[in-house]
Amino acid sequence: MSTQEPFTIEQFYNFIKQGKLMAGKCQKCGKIHLPPRPLCDNCYSQQFTWLAVSGKGKLLTYTVIHIAPQQFQNLAPYAIGIFELENNLKIPGIIEGVPQDQLKIGMELTLDLTSCNTTQQWPQWSRYCFKP
Amino acid sequence: MNRKPLVSIIGAGMSKFGKHTGLLTRELFAEAASEAFSRCPKLQPKKDIKALFIGHMGEAYEHQGHTASTLADWAGLVGIPATRTEAACGSSGAALRSGIYAVLSGLADVVMVGGVEKMTHRTTAEVTEYLAMASDYPFEQFHGITFPGLFALMATSHMHNYGTTEEQIAKVAVKNHYHGSLNPKAHMQKEITIETVMSSRYVAWPLKLYDCSLITDGASCIILTKPELAQKYTDQPVHIIGSGQASDTIGLYERKSLSSLQATKIAAKAAYEMADIKPEQIDLAEVHDCFTFAEIMAYEDLGFCRPGEGGKLVESGETYLNGRIPVNTSGGLKAKGHPVGATGTAQTYELYLQLTDQAEKRQVKDAKIGLSQNIGGSGATAVVHIYRREK
């Protein structure tokens, strides 16, 4: 994997737009950062490599948002979860395609990058979601 | 417990909490400052107060930043150094910590610490958006996670891990509204029933409208000095004997535990050790019930009960006034209201009243040791203080 790209959140979302879920791995202590960061919080190294992460996630907790921010009002009520991926990495996201009364802690869902879209001026990031 | 206090509180003030149409933050703060000065007649504010620390979260509400100097002016203290601390809803708890630093450093013998927020002139949608700024933007706000949503994620995890129920969570609201009904400065002074909470609409499942604290206008402040100078100003000081502040990841998703707040645990441990106090010795506490569920977590993280037993503790009635450990006798953020920047020192104001026997209808009998827990955001800041009455 190229090490040219900066280890930033902007770059994380650039990869998402390309259909890839990528974490930064510290070359010195091996800690994996999701999202990537430019300074390892464990050993202070600034040397990283990119690591592709599987989108398979286990649901750790969830909620259903009924009162939504302006931008998400057309989606409400929508489910949000925090997911555990491989290597104990965690990431939150909107859950699609699961009836809300069937949400269950421990269920397995997959990060979906096919329906990414960008609607706002800043940031020009693509939003992923989790699906069965 | 008999260690020398860090600092002593010689006066405190709080505006009425509620909807103050037509007032600006500076005018609200003047109301709180005036009360603090009148409670300490021996204090000469212009001569004695050497610094001001202000908790204030948002410039957006009034299109007004640079709050601390503005408030110094409106409190009649123009000229002194005035500094604002911002730690979301924990802003004035953090300001209090800064005030303690200032007194202990020897740079200032007497300081004023306070907080303010004016919120009700904005629409609920606007307030929701401003408050959300205290959560992680790239992975929380960007994905449609609201503030109630963050606490709902923690509540779901707690319910799953420990069997906590929506009814138990709702009982926090019933209790705090009862306490609020005894506080003439509370935003809501009406009792509510558990049916009211349970039948209110969902905001973020499992949390409902009545699980949420109020959008409120208000200001609060306290005056601190060195313990050895306290008697010069008042024969009824309240001493701060323990102080702890901690941080955590801004993103909830990055934390090890989703059903407790590590920052509260770290801050509490530091404060308990400094005060040489155990949780069982706390007579009453003001905790950060921005959402009802947060109070249940606070019981556990502060050691008032074991992990997972917070739901049972509220159910037992022991956190009511006259219970084993009354919590949020002021009505808490839930009923007294939550003008975010003002909340930390408003908690201190309540404990000041309680530990000087001035809490009237809601006075806790024989209260000697109090604790406050103020958190910022979803727990990336926590501030815990322990207070002792003058013997």
pTM comes to 0.97
* Predicted pLDDT of residue B90: 98
* Predicted pLDDT of residue B245: 98
* Predicted pLDDT of residue A124: 86
Residue ranges of domains in chain B, CATH in brackets: 7-122+214-389 (3.40.47.10)
Range A15-34 average pLDDT: 96
pLDDT band at A118 (very low <50, low <70, confident <90, very high): low
Q: Do B143 and A94 touch (CB under 8 A)?
A: yes
How many percent of chain B have pLDDT more than 70?
A: 99
Cα(B289)–Cα(B253) distance, integer angstroms: 21
The H or E element spanning position A62 is strand A56-65
| Predicted confidence (pLDDT) per residue in B258-307, tens digit | 999 999 999 999 999 999 999 999 999 999 999 999 999 999 999 999 99
Q: Which of A34, A86, A80 is nearest to A58 (CA)?
A: A86
| Predicted confidence (pLDDT) per residue in A42-99, tens digit | 999 999 999 999 999 999 999 999 999 888 989 999 999 999 999 999 999 999 999 9
ipTM: 0.96
Query: Among B140, B146, B291, which would you mutate to test the A interface (most chain A Cβ atoms within 10 Å of its Cβ)?
Result: B146
Number of A/B CB contacts below 8 angstroms equals 91
Q: Which residues of B are catalytic?
A: 89, 338
* Predicted pLDDT of residue B235: 95
Range B85-101 average pLDDT: 98
DSSP-derived letter for residue B235 is S
Cα(B19)–Cα(B341) distance, integer angstroms: 15
Cα(B159)–Cα(B150) distance, integer angstroms: 14
pLDDT band at B1 (very low <50, low <70, confident <90, very high): low
What is the arrangement of strands in the sheet containing B284-286, beginning at the earlier edge strand?
B82-85, B51-55, B110-117, B218-225, B7-14, B238-247, B381-389, B369-376, B284-286
Query: Among B253, B255, B291, B297, which would you mutate to test the A interface (most chain A Cβ atoms within 10 Å of its Cβ)?
Result: B253
Domain boundaries, chain A: 9-52, 56-131
Asked if A30 has any chain B CB less than 8 Å from its own CB, the reply is no
Residue B242 has pLDDT above 70, yes or no: yes
Residue B333 has pLDDT above 60, yes or no: yes
B-chain residues within 8 Å CB-CB of A64? 202, 204-205
* Predicted pLDDT of residue A71: 86
Closest-CA residue of chain A to B259: A61
Bridge partners (DSSP) listed for residue A26? A48
Residue A3 has pLDDT above 60, yes or no: no
Q: For chain B, what is the mean pLDDT?
A: 97
pLDDT band at B311 (very low <50, low <70, confident <90, very high): very high
CB nearest B253 (choices: A68, A92, A123): A92
Q: Do B160 and A66 touch (CB under 8 A)?
A: no
In order of A90, A104, B131, B137, B155, the CA distances from A57 in angstroms are: 9, 13, 29, 22, 20
Cα(B311)–Cα(B372) distance, integer angstroms: 20
Other beta carbons less than 10 A from residue B333's beta carbon: 32
How many percent of chain A have pLDDT more than 70?
A: 93
Residue pair B327/B321 in contact by the 8 Å Cβ criterion: no
